[in-house]
Structure 1
Amino acid sequence: MAMEYLGIDVSKRSLRLALLRRDGKYRDRTLENTPRGFGQLAQWLEKWSSEPVHVCLEATGPYGEAVAEYLHEAGYRVSIVNPARVKAFAQSEGLRTKTDKVDARLIARFCQALEPEPWQPAPPRVRQLQALVRRLDALQQMRLQEEGRLEGAHPTVAPEIRSHLDYLDKQIQHLRQQIRELIDDDPDLRQQARLLASIPGISDITCAWLLAEVRFERYDNARELAAYTGLTPREFQSGTIKGKPRLCKRGNARLRKALYMPALAAIRCNPLVRNLAERMRKRGKQGKVIVAAAMRKLIHIAYGVLKHQTPFLEQGA
């Protein structure tokens, strides 16, 4: 069946579109990444597409979720692809990864060439869990801000800030309880949480973050999952200048943030992560480089225990 291909380059505020038409020509447009922009996108596709449209965007965390759900519900074939796959395709097209941006046209060409599998939204329970953990994070950030304000607060407003902190504490406690109950009431989530919690360094809330933000079954291997998380090193190169590897940070920023403290804990209490950190220190690595490697190792271990459906064991992880 004849198809046309829409590549969407997603950012927090905008959607850069490239419609690859049957005649090989492109139609480009930039819209707001808002519900109003989604409606304009649907109208634009109706106007310019002459065949069924296969929509493709990168898995870049929360910024693309809403437009993907909108287009899926509107009946379009939607694929959300791992950035590592698009990067490999870009390299096959002769593009470097530093200055040659993975743009909407390239994503459309990728979609035409490889025709990735259609994406399905997360089950309702997982979407509920995602809403709860994101709300919990927002309240925790709000509490940190209020604590900072209290330090230098005038006596006139200090009692109000303390009252707000008490309120936030109750809301945070209530959300944690809701998260626990939601996971316990769902057999699949409960089993996955039990496996993840067997990993030293992974707390109950980190389990909830992983289950809410990651569809583990979508990834063929742990390396692909690490790329989605934005924890794979990338080479910074321009012409003859070659820099140090750094994290790509194109993936799920919420998940990276949620893994930071568990990685610090795992460096102390998880034998596999601790040994990795010690080897890196001997090679002269330090600080954030070691923590990033620990986060990446935790993702690999998490993928392993869920794939094999066995709890963490040092000798088998």
Structure 2
Amino acid sequence: MIAVGSDISQKTIDVQILDENETYIKIQNNEIGFNKLLKKLSDNPCNYHFCMEATGNYYENFADFLVENGFQVTVANPLKISKFAETEFQKTKTDKQDCKLIAQYCQEKLLKKHGTYKKPTEQQYQVKRLLSYINQLKQQKTALMNRQKNCKDEFIEIELKKQLVELKAHIKTTESKLSELTKSEEKDRLKTIPAISETTARVLVHFLTMFDFKTANKFTAFAGLSPQQRKSGTSVNKKEKLSRYGNRILKTALYMPAVVAYRMGVFKKMTDRLEKKGKSGKVVIVAIMRKLAVLAFNLYTKGQVYDIRKFG
């Protein structure tokens, strides 16, 4: 299997092939460039494994093209590539060097154990973009509300109110469209979990459907809810902290349900146990977020509804 690294920007793609000649090629990020690369790779597509970073949506058309033509593709978290660069003591920062680094990462890390990319359906792409758009709108709403709260000018305050009304209307319209696209039995089953709302169930079903998670641990790691430990001997004993990796939309969607579940006294045995150990409120909330993610995975994969006797 030959590893291929791709450094993708809006207009161009730098490609490093780790074959005998360490072939490098720069192509346009469009169908003309994709076909140019296809002609360059005369061997069986099964002999190549492409790796690229999840950079916005610039990679999507290229990744989909490769999958449609029989190539194996992995879309990696940019933070993982960055950490790999540190282990390689890489100092140079150019597009050509970056695509070579990604190819090396693919060769050393991914070919052994990592899952391959599957082209999402058009509906999955649409849901993904709507979720991202709603997230942006809600961030803008929060920013406007904060500005309005601290505003000392009457005219500006009136203008901010107008913007808020308009923004809320956009959020409502977008959520309505999203609701049309995400009607499913899976979503209804996840809504049986305490504190899981329609909005959160939509997000959970989207990611569980779009990616093939083999275990609950894989799903929680994807959400960035796996704690990192740094202990070694007697000199290193740092507090656990959340991984920087993880999908922000999924992690954000689980936060408020976890807060609500904590206030409702859901999972009381678990929260009491953590509090007796002296864990802070923040740590308890994260533990509930992880619990909710695990429950969602289990109910989704087993086709069950929440039962407090089994999962409480």
Partner of residue 135 from structure 2, selected from 118, 134, 137: 137
* 2: CA distance, partners of 1:196 / 1:263: 14
Does the CA contact (< 8 Å) of 1:236 and 1:243 recur in 2?
yes
1:1-317 matches, within 5 Å, as 3-7=1-5, 19-21=17-19, 23=20, 51=43, 52=45, 53-57=48-52, 63=55, 66-74=58-66, 75=69, 77-80=71-74, 100=87, 104=102, 105-114=104-113, 118-151=116-149, 152-184=151-183, 190-215=184-209, 218-236=212-230, 241-269=236-264, 271-272=266-267, 274-317=268-311
Shift of 1:216: 6.7
Does the CA contact (< 8 Å) of 1:82 and 1:224 recur in 2?
no
Closer/same/farther in 2, CA of residues 64 and 227 from structure 1, 3 Å limit: farther
Moved more, 217-226 or 172-181: 172-181
Does the CA contact (< 8 Å) of 2:6 and 2:16 recur in 1?
yes
Q: Which runs of 5+ in 1 are unaligned?
A: 91-95, 185-189
Does the CA contact (< 8 Å) of 2:6 and 2:52 recur in 1?
yes
Q: Secondary structure at the match of 1:235?
A: strand
Shift of 1:4: 1.8
Shift of 1:101: 7.4
Closer/same/farther in 2, CA of residues 162 and 112 from structure 1, 3 Å limit: closer
CA deviations 1:26-46 (Å, max 9, x no partner) are 5689x9xxx966789859956
* 1: CA distance, partners of 2:76 / 2:219: 8
* 1: CA distance, partners of 2:88 / 2:260: 36
Does the CA contact (< 8 Å) of 2:137 and 2:171 recur in 1?
yes
CA deviations 1:171-211 (Å, max 9, x no partner) are 22222222222223xxxxx1111011000011111111222
Closer/same/farther in 2, CA of residues 183 and 49 from structure 1, 3 Å limit: closer
Counterpart residue identity of residue 196, structure 1: L
* 2: CA distance, partners of 1:201 / 1:251: 22
CA deviations 1:83-135 (Å, max 9, x no partner) are 7xxx9xx9xxxxx9996379632332334445x55422222222222222222
Does the CA contact (< 8 Å) of 1:219 and 1:225 recur in 2?
yes
CA deviations 1:269-296 (Å, max 9, x no partner) are 3633x32222111111113211111111
Normalising to structure 1: TM-score of the pair? 0.74
RMSD: 3.9
Counterpart residue identity of residue 255, structure 1: L
* 1: CA distance, partners of 2:249 / 2:71: 27
Normalising to structure 2: TM-score of the pair? 0.76
Counterpart residue identity of residue 63, structure 2: L
Closer/same/farther in 2, CA of residues 70 and 15 from structure 1, 3 Å limit: closer
Does the CA contact (< 8 Å) of 2:8 and 2:58 recur in 1?
no
